[in-house]
Amino acid sequence: MSVRLVGASQRVEEAALVAAFALAVLLPLIEALGRPLGGLHIPGTAAYMQQLTIWLTFLGGLYAVREGKHLTLSTVELLGGAPRFKRAAAVLAYGVAAIVTAVLAYGAWHVVMATRAQGDLLAGGLPRWVSELVMPVALALMALRFAWRASPHWVGKVVALLAVAAAFALGLLPPPAQPVQWLLLGVILVAALLGAPVFVAMAGVALVLFFKDSTPVAAVPAEIYRLIASPTLPAIPLLTACGYVLAESRAATRLVRFFRALFGWMPGGLAVLVAAVCALFTTFTGGSGVTIIALGGLVYPILREDGYPESFSLGLVTAAGSLGLLFPPSLPVILYSVVASVPADQLYLAGLLPGLLLVVLVAGYGVMVGRRVQTRTTAFSWRELAGATWEAKYELSVPVLVVGLFASGLTSLVEASAAACAYAVIVECFITRDIHLVRELPKVLLKAAALVGGVLILLSSAMGLTSYLVDAQVPDALLSWVQAHIDSQLVFLLALNVLLLVLGSVLEIYSAIVVLAPLVVPLGVAFGVHPVHLGVIFLANLEMGFLFPPVGLNLFLSSSRFSVPITRLYRDVVPFLVIRGVGVLLITYIPALSLGVLKLLGRG
């Protein structure tokens, strides 16, 4: 009976996520299509989109716990040890995760009750607090799931649950002495190193700091309201769903054929193909690692058959897997826009030339190697190029659709993102028929939901921690220290390059954005760096951090995908690190690369 109940609850959870995605696409589309028809619209669309974003955040977070998809520190992969150590590490990591999410659920309940007292109603008469109950309910269920995952044995599960009870008992006591505070913070950070999600670490640190100051724990989940007020935030789940629909189709094969027809005649043209198709694919999938997993098995054998050395082929696929993060409709650009309060359209425009520069540098090195090893070429054919373009026309038009709709002023970014998602679904389900609408599309949306939940809960937690840091005037203190020790913009930018490169190799890109951007942006302003240029520098450095030893994300993904030791990949990616490093320095110290397009269009 319990197995049936669990199965039924999981099906309800999945159905709610798919329905939330469907509504999140339909509402902006109705708004956009109804505008030219005399202002036809659904009352309260903006408020309902905020509520749908909350549902996707917390139900997605709950689903991510179930699937083990929450973002963790890359350093976890380096931890070895005996099976007994691993079991103890899991109990600590998931036990802390259960504690933090249980306390967040308690705080979220108080937030919802405060909303209830205000008596706000959504269009149609639905009380806002009823919809927002998803926050404490989902967080409480996440706590239970973390406790359940703590150990395969009942003893470990019970220990995790008892730890949750102990945490609530601690909350009844006065704020602990400073040594105890440091102990609690240390336990949270150790848990993060042992596998607890990054959002748990950030929220846990914020909870301890607020508790120290006798501030109610509801202060952390209350920051969600600051988050959902961002008008561009719903674009994140919509673009994520669009990327996953394309990734699960045969879009990769069609794009490879197109770029082969375009560059196959060149000496080393196949390397250009790999750089271009990976960059375009990463714009859809947002640097989440999908590019290497989806394209690696397709392009690596082609490189080897064409005569490229094994070390170069591995290095190219690993390096190209993070190209394209600056191009629309890349998700990290939207996330940085939300966190740093920089217009997303300006970031996309500013990232065009820098993004192309990085692609051209990697492709140019591929051409040089191709000439040296005398790789095979294919005769250029207008007929094949026309056929390949026609076959890949739908995938190639997605970035054009998003940018065109948004830049034209006809739609908001959220509406353009909804149009891109609907377009991808229509193309892959009804035109190419790569994805079955009923059997396969819901599974694709659930994969997207796991990433959405992981990213947006992380962002919510970061807002809570940022709120404390601002109240404690930490950014002001950091700014004073930097200004006292660094007296030139050039040195500041160089130090920023090094910092972002190192931290970008340890943190997931989404974690790095939400953790570092609030601290870096005030520093950039103080040193006279244009906010949009700073954003491009920030993202270009993180893009390079995917390759940086010892724990860059792409290194782990390639090691797993191609079954080669990660230490070998360190050597294979060195030439690409040097090339990308040159590109990042050019982007950093030649602001015209980022700001020239904006000034040309009168947006600078």
Phi, psi of 36 (to 5 degrees): -70, -15
CA separation, residue 413 to residues 344, 350, 405, 535, 599 (Å) = 8, 17, 8, 18, 21
Comparing 226 with 448, which gets the higher pLDDT?
448
CB within 8 A of 407, min separation 6: which ones? 345
The token pair that represents 449 in the structure block: 């939901």
Q: Which residue, 393, 289, 274, 394, is CA-closest to 331?
A: 289
Could you tell me which residues are beta bridge partners of residue 121? 127
pLDDT-derived band at 543, boundaries 50, 70, 90: confident
Supply the pLDDT for residue 435: 93
Count CB neighbours of 485 within 10 A. Answer: 10
Phi, psi of 377 (to 5 degrees): -125, 160
pLDDT-derived band at 38, boundaries 50, 70, 90: low
- Rounded average pLDDT over 75-82: 54
For 242-255, what is each residue's pLDDT tens digit? 888 887 888 878 88
Comparing 504 with 352, which gets the higher pLDDT?
352
Gap between the Cα atoms of 294 and 278, Å rounded: 10
- Do the Cβ atoms of 196 and 96 come closer than 8 Å? yes
For 106-135, what is each residue's pLDDT tens digit? 988 988 998 888 888 888 788 989 999 999
pLDDT above 80 for 36: no
Gap between the Cα atoms of 208 and 204, Å rounded: 6
Supply the pLDDT for residue 229: 65
Q: Which residue, 397, 407, 413, is CA-closest to 598?
A: 407
What is the residue-averaged pLDDT of the chain? Answer: 83
- Rounded average pLDDT over 2-13: 78
Gap between the Cα atoms of 584 and 594, Å rounded: 12
Q: Which residue, 121, 159, 110, is CA-closest to 44?
A: 121
Residue 127: helix, strand or coil by DSSP? strand
Supply the pLDDT for residue 286: 66
Comparing 268 with 79, which gets the higher pLDDT?
268
State the burial class of residue 484 (Cβ atoms within 10 Å of its Cβ: 0-12, 13-18, 19+): exposed
pLDDT above 90 for 84: no
pLDDT above 80 for 180: no
Rg over alpha carbons for the chain, rounded to the nearest Å, is 24
pLDDT above 70 for 1: no
pLDDT above 60 for 37: yes
**Helix extents (H) in 341-392:** 344-373, 382-391
Q: Which residue, 60, 139, 154, 145, is CA-closest to 94?
A: 145
CA triple 523-525-527, angle to 5 deg? 70
For 338-362, what is each residue's pLDDT tens digit? 888 888 888 988 999 999 999 999 9
- Rounded average pLDDT over 486-494: 86
Phi, psi of 127 (to 5 degrees): -60, 135
| E-assigned strand segments in 489-572 | none
Q: What percent of the chain is predicted at pLDDT more than 90?
A: 22
Gap between the Cα atoms of 287 and 327, Å rounded: 11
Comparing 541 with 292, which gets the higher pLDDT?
541
Q: Which residue, 317, 266, 328, 312, is CA-closest to 293?
A: 317
- Rounded average pLDDT over 86-92: 82
Cis preceding linkage at 550, omega within 30? yes
Residue 235: helix, strand or coil by DSSP? helix
- Rounded average pLDDT over 415-422: 90
Supply the pLDDT for residue 442: 94
The token pair that represents 324 in the structure block: 């394209």
Can you list the pairs that 122-126 forms with residues at least 24 positions away whose Cβ atoms lie under 8 Å? Answer: 122/44, 122/47, 122/48, 122/51, 123/42, 123/43, 123/44, 123/47, 123/48, 124/43, 124/44
pLDDT above 60 for 196: yes
- Do the Cβ atoms of 327 and 239 come closer than 8 Å? no
Supply the pLDDT for residue 579: 92
pLDDT above 90 for 443: yes
Global pTM exceeds 0.85 = no
